[in-house]
Structure 1
Amino acid sequence: MSPALSPATGPTPSQELRDALGAVRAEVAKAVVGQDAAVTGLVIALLCRGHVLLEGVPGVAKTLLVRSLSAALDLDTKRVQFTPDLMPGDVTGSLVYDARTAEFSFRAGPVFTNLLLADEINRTPPKTQASLLEAMEERQVTVDGLPRALPDPFLVIATQNPIEYEGTYSLPEAQLDRFLLKLTLPLPERDQEIEILARHAGGFDPRNLAGAGVRPAAGVDVLARARAEVARVQISREVLGYTVDVCRATRQSPSLSLGVSPRGATALLATSRAWAWLSGRGYVTPDDVKALAHPTLRHRVQLRAEAELEGVSTESVLDTVLASVPVPR
């Protein structure tokens, strides 16, 4: 191990804060069976001030996962069901005329919350999808020329169905690039599905999280302190170079028409640092970069049409890229 990667070069992460976030995951598990990787991904997004795109077939607990996380962190949460007739003002808010005062006043939309669940985001037209761009990037909403700051923390968790395309609108690349992570929720294993049924047979009500025993295990103060520690996690120049090389290799892949942008490289840096901190280290290793490459980059690349026809997947291309880039020692 080189001196640049030595544990002595980084600060010692706080076990107390990691334990608090571990307790959050335990609270979520009271309502959601499995999906541990998705829960960890959501925690990483909160630590990095990023947004998440959740993809999975109906019925794999996407909405329940978000509601459970919100309850475990005691965050304000609002849900918007994205439909073809949803207007931008329905999300961001709008000016409303008050006949009593003969003046216009601003009525805040559901985006003014800590955790916004954008359910089935690909079912609304691009104009409404674009209404989230400023909120996700600038953490503010501008109405009638006046910017209005959003609360902190602010996190958009959008869901979409990967198999249903009728009546949907593909998210533009600019919108996809605003999401820090794209997490896929698989169908549960047999034992997990039996546990789900057993809970329902025992009276579990997904609409009553308090009845399921989900309690706040951490709050905004814990998140703020954890974010400060993540920001102190060190990364050597060798590992920075490895991160850049991975992203640049996607731009040279013959299977991709669109590779990872510099924004994607900075996202991979951020998620790798958060994962290193959660793993109990004050420094980033190449393995941290590898561990977060798929969820951080899979939505930032685009397959060539001929590659899709040949059955090539984004995941296999990223595997090939990671295998081709030399790992620093």
Structure 2
Amino acid sequence: MSMKPEQAAGFQKVFDKLVENVEQVLLGKNRTVRLAFTAMLSGGHLLLEDFPGTGKTSLARAMAQSVQGSHSRIQFTPDLLPGDITGVSIFDQKQGVFEFHRGPIFSNIVLADEINRASPKTQSALLEVMEEHQVTVDGVTHETGEPFMVIATQNPIEQAGTYRLPEAQLDRFLMKASLGYPDHASTMRILEGSAKKAAGELDGVVPADMVVKLIELARTVHVDTEINDYVSRIVEATRFAPEVRLGASVRGALALIRASRVHAAAQGRHFVIPDDVKALADSVLSHRLVLDPEAEFDGVTANNVVGKILIDLPVGAPAE
């Protein structure tokens, strides 16, 4: 069953309301806020690589308030243990059984702050829950509930005492984005107190169960065979680019299609066009690429590679 035009119009209306609500807190960050909600309504997770004090925590809290969901924040440090994230089983002496105490991962929106400061063992605790939306402790599986989204942050400057995120974990983030510093006009508005509310004071726009319905509705956006072919050729091109050692996976191609569906619906369309793919390809694919060390030394970035592919690759060319 495909999405109908009137459903696309309704989706756009709700999407715009969500973005406008969060923009009461984050001034001048329309594109990043739209990307964040695109990731959420695609059923995916968001990686924010940015400097301290740019509003990453405020974004996660404002999104949780907007969808009337629960929010938790995990500060990743070198001594953080997997059980500090997922929860632990504690023996109840009165009942004579082990009782599971849920960790902070059991929230609708989880902010994993400075995720690359924790050890690889601790980071691996997120692999199952990000992919399956469940946690297995002592052989027992616990569902996180829906909606579920991880917003992780890392500081691009201070690398001392950090651990590089493994490719398997990077691949589980639907998008990578950056808030950046506000422009002069937005900074002036912030200093003048134009931010209407604090992140914790926002009114809810839709209930959490409505978000689940929107995620399901977005999956009905029509994707033509030519769009699938275009996405496939983009992903294949990342694997054969001379600057790339490891290209995007099939999971990356699926993520780009999912995100493009939401992007189309957010524009009021019930079908995907190539411009939807182009608008999101950089955010969805760049963090999945592993560049050749020589290319990195020459100043080449994954964003450059994806941008060049989009320029060089024609939309309607037949698959090879």
TM-score bucket of the superposed structures, by smaller chain? over 0.9
CA drift of 1:17 comes to 3.4
Report matched runs for 1:114-263 at 5 Å: 114-199=108-193, 206=198, 209-210=200-201, 214-263=202-251
1:111-153 Cα shifts (integer Å, max 9, x gaps): 1111111111011001000001000111111111111111111
Say whether the 8 Å CA contact 1:17–1:222 is kept in structure 2. no
Task: Give the deviation of 1:302 after TM superposition.
Answer: 1.2
Residues 259-287 of structure 1, C-alpha deviation per residue, up to 9 Å, x if partnerless?
11111111111111110111111111111
The amino acid across from 1:241 in the alignment is: D
**CA RMSD, aligned part only?**
1.7
TM-score (norm 2): 0.94
2: CA distance, partners of 1:35 / 1:203: 12
The aligned runs of 1:60-71 (5 Å cut-off) are 60-71=54-65
1:30 paired to 2:24: yes
Alignment check: 8 A CA contact 2:45 2:151 kept: yes
Q: Does the residue aligned with 1:260 lie in a helix, a strand or coil?
A: coil
Q: Distance in 1 between matches of 2:98 and 2:63?
A: 37
8 Å contact from structure 2 (residues 8, 270) kept in 1:
no
**Deviation for aligned residue 1:14:** 3.7
Q: Are 2:268 and 1:277 aligned?
A: no
- Measured after TM superposition, the shift of residue 205 of structure 1 is 7.7
Q: Tell me the matched-pair count.
A: 315
Q: State yes or no: 1:302 paired with 2:293.
A: no
User: How many percent identity over aligned positions?
Assistant: 41
What SS class does the counterpart of residue 105 from structure 1 fall into?
A: strand
Q: 2:90 aligns with which of 96, 115, 125?
A: 96
Q: 1:11 aligns with which of 4, 12, 16?
A: 4
Report what 1:6 is aligned to: none
Structure 1 unaligned spans of 5+: 1-8
CA contact (8 A) 1:286 1:328 kept: no
Contact 2:50 2:179 in 1 (8 A): yes
Query: Offset at 1:10?
Result: 6.2
- TM-aligned CA distance change 1:40 to 1:106, over 3 Å: same
In structure 2, how many angstroms separate the alpha carbons of the residues matched to 1:220 and 1:36? 22
Bigger mean CA deviation after superposition, 267-276 or 17-26: 17-26
Q: Map 1:315-326; keep pairs closer than 5 Å.
A: 315-326=303-314
Query: What TM-score, normalized by structure 1, do the two folds share?
Result: 0.92
2:101 alignment partner in structure 1? 107
Whole-Å separation in 2 of the counterparts to 1:263 and 1:16: 29
Where do 5+ consecutive residues of structure 2 fail to align? none
Q: Residue 132 of structure 1: SS of its match in structure 2?
A: helix
Distance, in Å, in 2 between the alignment partners of 1:10 and 1:229 is 7
- For residue 64 of structure 1, report the CA deviation from its aligned partner: 0.7
| 1:166-221 CA distance string (max 9 Å, x none) | 0111100000001011111222111111111111xx79784x632xxx21011224
Separation (CA, whole Å) in 2 of partners of 1:313 and 1:282: 34
Shift of 1:30: 1.3
Inter-partner Cα distance in structure 2 for 1:155 and 1:242: 28
Per-residue deviation, 1:36: 1.2
* 8 A contact 1:21–1:218 mirrored in 2: no
1:44-99 CA-partner distances (Å, limit 9, x unpaired): 11211111111111111011111111111111111111111000000001111223
Question: For residues 101 and 262 of structure 1, what CA distance do their matches in structure 2 show?
Answer: 48
User: Per the alignment, in what secondary structure is the counterpart of residue 187 of structure 1?
Assistant: coil
Cα 1:323/1:148, change in 2 over 3 Å:
same
Amino acid at match of 1:11: K
Amino acid at match of 1:309: F
**Does structure 1 retain, via aligned residues, the 8 Å contact 2:177–2:283?**
yes
The answer on whether the counterparts of 2:67 and 2:206 sit within 8 Å (CA) in structure 1 is: yes
- Do the aligned partners of 1:31 and 1:209 also contact (CA within 8 Å) in 2? no
Deviation of residue 224 (structure 1)? 2.9
Contact kept, 8 Å, 1:94 with 1:143, in 2: the verdict is: yes
